[in-house]
Structure 1
């Protein structure tokens, strides 16, 4: 929380400096993945046990919420390049984590988006807690998108294994194209455009609908970093599948978007050249 407050008022960030100085960023990443595994392997068992009816579910909620707290902190401090560098080998695990969350985000968008937070009078405390965990998962995935974008800002200093994981194993550029296509943080309700920001859905005024949202901007910047940096270009295997997916970006590169992110003109030129480029075998 202190790190978020420091960033909000544009002051120095002692929390970020302490994490780097004492080498605690890898510990945070390890803790993040440990809680994720607990939620996947242990928490569902609690929810299935019929005679498990704790009077107080707050301790379990704190464990479930712990993942959101860590990813929120990482989103705040990973803006600084030295934090990403201090993650050392655990940045590989963090890339894998972000990929899992973004894949889930794409899958959710194909099934109608995140669940609504409406409770039921007939549900027991554990069922309510499970519902809260599902809602929290959507917000965590959006935070993971921001963390991944900050990692791509450091593409020139990432290890070869990390670049290979991002570009070859996970093919993140194609996954990011999927996110732009589905835009799970936007929806239409009653004919009105809504966007998810600040843990809730906001109705976007007609005059603001052409404005680039923060999350869309994160995706575009990540794509720019992964496709145009010399380090990534040298290691990205451009298959016919990847070429087909990437060329879909041309439909999104409107004049309005280029006015808001002028650097994307370089990406537009890259895509124009890509149409004439021969693909590589997978």
Structure 2
């Protein structure tokens, strides 16, 4: 029997989890920080592979036993502060002209890697254009994480439930998502939806189907509105009530057929429309403040410009030799076979669109279902294939030159 594909052996995963630590804002982008980013990428890929095979328990236990989930959350917050305070300054510095923007891209990507790792763990436990695109993907993953948090609503601390319901008013926020549905749009008369990290055209027969994101949103609303704890604490004032009643227009028979539990929500909203709910019970709450965020901001307040200049001079202006070394490490991290195993959809033939099993051996970029299709496509593919093959050869030559011992 063929062994399941793996990025890390159990012992390697344990070492990487054990080595995870929090970095000061000033050190984002240095060698130690990039090394940890590689660790998180490998753990992220291993989590996805293990989850798809139903063997995710080991990684969850490692993160819990070594108390590393708070570390990941702290890293997430620190990078968010970096994006708000440091990244805009870097973009404005006139003397910042790096040979490559890849190191900065990795910092932006770091947030996506951590939130994806947390999403995978939660699920199985039960520059600017790039930044904007990544922000959208991160936001959708945050919705998924929120849904898994609401699954545990009855066991959350009182302060956490209060922040979700009344400080941040998540029920009304989710109503806005139902109304505007940012992962769905029409383009040139065709319905397109965002799922699995990409936009795709929805066939006419599937227009009424709920996507995974639709499901996550409705489950979060169901958990928040139908929970006895939430009904006791949520402030059903006139504004919140009017917002929640907008949901009735979206609870059609087609939606309820796909998610029968929403029938209970429909009844709750009908009852809400004709009654005035009891005011929320006023409990004495010692509310937790965002300790990590406040600590990082307080520690670095007034130093944003200095930190940006320090990182420009020491982290984000790598030499050609440093870039080559970085490229070698990332080539090892992003193993091609592993990446393909993580892709949810099978590759399609470039000619006929059938499921493909063969790939161009020169550029390894185009896929084909049979030899005839590859031959038929060669005249169109030839130019791109030559360019890709030449680029791969140049990279290999650079790696060999770097590996060659100096005299």
TM-score by length of 1: 0.81
| Equivalent residues of 1:81, 1:154 under 8 A apart | no
**1:266 and 1:281, CA in 2 relative to 1: closer, same or farther beyond 3 A?**
closer
Q: Shift of residue 169 of structure 1?
A: 0.3
Q: Shift of residue 199 of structure 1?
A: 1.8
Choose the corresponding residue for 1:237, options 235, 238, 248: 235
Q: Shift of residue 63 of structure 1?
A: 1.1
Post-superposition Cα deviations, 1:61-86, rounded to whole Å, max 9, x if no partner, equal 1111100000011111112558xxxx
| Residue 64 (structure 2) pairs with residue 46 (structure 1) | no
Post-superposition Cα deviations, 1:33-88, rounded to whole Å, max 9, x if no partner, equal 10011011101111111221011222211111100000011111112558xxxxxx
Counterparts of residues 21-32 of structure 1 (less than 5 Å): 21-32=65-76
1:135 paired residue number: 133
Counterparts of residues 70-109 of structure 1 (less than 5 Å): 70-80=114-124
Unaligned runs of 5+ in 1: 83-128
* In 2, Cα distance between equivalents of 1:16 and 1:65: 22
Q: Which has the larger radius of gyration?
A: 2
1:158 paired residue number: 156
Q: Shift of residue 206 of structure 1?
A: 0.5
Q: Shift of residue 6 of structure 1?
A: 1.1
What is the number of equivalent residue pairs in this alignment? 236
Moved more, 168-177 or 129-138: 129-138
2:272 paired residue number: 274
1:62 paired residue number: 106
1:33 paired residue number: 77
Post-superposition Cα deviations, 1:225-261, rounded to whole Å, max 9, x if no partner, equal 0000111111111010011000010011111111111
1:216 paired residue number: 214
Give the CA RMSD over aligned residues: 1.5
Post-superposition Cα deviations, 1:104-140, rounded to whole Å, max 9, x if no partner, equal xxxxxxxxxxxxxxxxxxxxxxxxx222111111100
| Equivalent residues of 1:239, 1:280 under 8 A apart | no
| Equivalent residues of 2:224, 2:230 under 8 A apart | yes
| Equivalent residues of 1:155, 1:163 under 8 A apart | yes
Q: Shift of residue 279 of structure 1?
A: 5.3
* In 2, Cα distance between equivalents of 1:195 and 1:216: 11
| Equivalent residues of 2:256, 2:262 under 8 A apart | yes
Paired residue secondary structure (2:260)? coil
| Equivalent residues of 1:35, 1:63 under 8 A apart | yes
Paired residue secondary structure (1:56)? coil
Q: Shift of residue 211 of structure 1?
A: 0.5
Unaligned runs of 5+ in 2: 1-44, 281-407
* In 2, Cα distance between equivalents of 1:44 and 1:219: 32
| Residue 50 (structure 2) pairs with residue 6 (structure 1) | yes
Runs of 4+ in 1 over 3 A off after TM superposition: 279-282
Choose the corresponding residue for 2:191, options 190, 193, 200: 193
* In 1, Cα distance between equivalents of 2:275 and 2:162: 22
Paired residue secondary structure (1:78)? helix
